[in-house]
Structure 1
């Protein structure tokens, strides 16, 4: 009899624990997920959610300590604009919605996600400008939004993201100058601004990015001279600055071109590769351009 009672208590405890697990996420956070589902045509996602099932069964949703901390819906056929409520998931650390068909503009409250470490929105159809307050995302380590229709300037506040390691804004419609504040990103390892409408001179402050391994500025309207401070970029392995309007490449003369895997400028006298190696090198270019055959905007 005693053993039966103990067994019953254990079974009851088991179900109570599982019930607690299923009910960990607050109704407010669940509502945000539902908003995302409904605003991006969730019924037609490649891997849809059964919104009547427990949230921990929803593909791509990561829960930790009763909160939504990760959303990964990479290449999942999301169609539509992101909901404004997305910015209220204050415990979110990873948001990967890359390779979908997301439209509209970025939610204005996205900059409230102070715990966000990874924001990947590349290969979508997002329009409008990058929020001026993007620098509020103080925990951000990776920001990738290449191949969208983003316009306007690169915000000066990006320089506040002191932990940023990857910044890729290539293949958009960005205009204006490269902000001097980018020189503050001392942990930056990858910087991609390929194929935009950027103009003006490269700020000499970029010479302070000593951890930089990949720098892709090709296909813009940048001008002036290459900063001599580029000689300080000892970690650089990939440099692409071709198809711009530079007046002089003297700033590159102090660089040891033997350090590079890819070195592409419009001054062929600086080419460190033998002629028979050139085609092989070009196949390894860090070209982040992707064509969208369905949208000719």
Structure 2
């Protein structure tokens, strides 16, 4: 009798697990995203009659949506404003699609998010000022879009950030000095924007920085003396700007550059000449800009 009870309990447990479901709020958020991005035209569509756990790219743990990976899946249209209701989301990858419109303000409600990948889309508008609500964020990648405005100084509050790539957009204004607070940062890409002014000396505090790409902007002034502290650099690109002095580069003490590009032909130090094509930030914008 006891054995039969144990078998029945196990069957009940397995049945419960099979039919476990996410909250209504989360499911509605997914359905709204599917509708707003033309789900019927996705490469890998969702069968809306099947359990959410079987939907492509959706990762569920303990009845909560923790991952959404729709990379290169022909998403078209704006990101649903209900995206903020996926409050347990840790990874959101919408890269390499045809997303348009502005980032919904509700995206800052994803306080558990660690990875946000939006690169290679057609998103426009500005980054939310309250982006620092994403306090657990480790990667923010949004290169090759049409994002504009100033880079929010609040990004400097994302203390866990390791990768920040905003290259090939239309950001203007100056580089926020608050980026110097990102002590965990390993990759910083601001290539091909409309950034002006001098490089903040505070960026010399980024001791873990391995890749720094500031090329193709309107930056000027001198390279900060504080850059002599960037001992971990492996990729360093600052060409096609309007710098008045590169003297501080003489004091850089890195183990060995993999890539080093700047405008000065009269180099006083020897740097390894390596093909940059393997590491270069994406530098191709979409031609068919939607107004």
Question: What interval of TM-score do these two structures reach, taking the shorter chain for normalisation?
Answer: over 0.9
- Residues 258 and 272 in structure 1, CA contact (< 8 A), matched pair in contact too: no
For normalisation by structure 1, the TM-score amounts to 0.92
Q: Tell me, what secondary structure is at the counterpart of 2:102? A: coil
Partner of 2:223: 226
Match of 2:110 in 1: 113
Deviation at 1:256, TM superposition (A): 3.6
The residue number in structure 1 matching 2:72 is: 75
Equivalent residue number for residue 47 of structure 2: 50
In 1, Cα distance between equivalents of 2:276 and 2:133: 38
What is the Cα deviation at residue 6 of structure 1?
Answer: 2.2
Task: Give the one of 13, 18, 28 matched to 2:15.
Answer: 18
Which deviations, in whole Å up to 9, do the C-alpha atoms of 1:117-144 show, x marking residues without a partner? 0000000000100001111110000000
Task: Quickly say closer, same or farther: Cα 1:270–1:284, change in 2 above 3 A.
Answer: farther
Instruction: Tell me, in whole angstroms, the C-alpha distance in 2 between the residues paired with 1:51 and 1:12.
Output: 30
2:209 maps to which of 212, 227, 244: 212
Write out per-residue CA displacement over residues 74-122 of structure 1, whole angstroms, 9 at most, x where no aligned residue. 0000001011110121111000000000111101111111110000000
Q: CA RMSD in A?
A: 2.1
Is contact 2:167-2:281 (8 Å) kept?
A: no
User: Are positions 1:292 and 2:290 aligned together?
Assistant: no
> Counterpart of 2:96 in 1: which secondary structure?
coil
Q: Which of 4, 12, 23 matches 1:6?
A: 4
1:286 positional shift: 1.9
Provide the secondary structure at the position in 2 that maps to 1:253. helix
1:53-87, CA deviations, whole angstroms, 9 ceiling, x for partnerless residues?
01111111011111000000000000010111101
Are residues 1:174 and 2:171 paired?
Answer: yes
Which segments of 5 or more consecutive residues in structure 2 lack a partner in the other structure?
Answer: none
Structure 2 CA distance for partners of 1:29 and 1:285, relative to 1, 3 Å: closer
Partner deviation per Cα, 1:264-297 (whole Å, 9 max, x = no partner): 00012238568xx74x534345232124244476
Q: How far is 1:257 from its partner?
A: 6.4
Q: Secondary structure at the match of 1:111?
A: helix
On the 8 A contact 1:257/1:272 being kept in 2, the answer is: no
Secondary structure in 1 matching 2:178: helix
| 2: CA distance, partners of 1:87 / 1:70 | 13
> Which residue among 272, 275, 281 is the counterpart of 1:281?
275
2:43 counterpart SS class: coil
Q: Is the 8 A contact 1:164 1:188 kept in 2?
A: yes
Distance 1:258 1:17 in 2: 56
Pairs aligned (count): 291
CA contact 1:214–1:237 (8 Å) conserved in 2: yes
1:130 aligned to which of 105, 120, 127: 127
Match of 1:84 among 81, 84, 99: 81
Q: Which structure 1 residue ranges, 5 or more long, are not aligned?
A: none
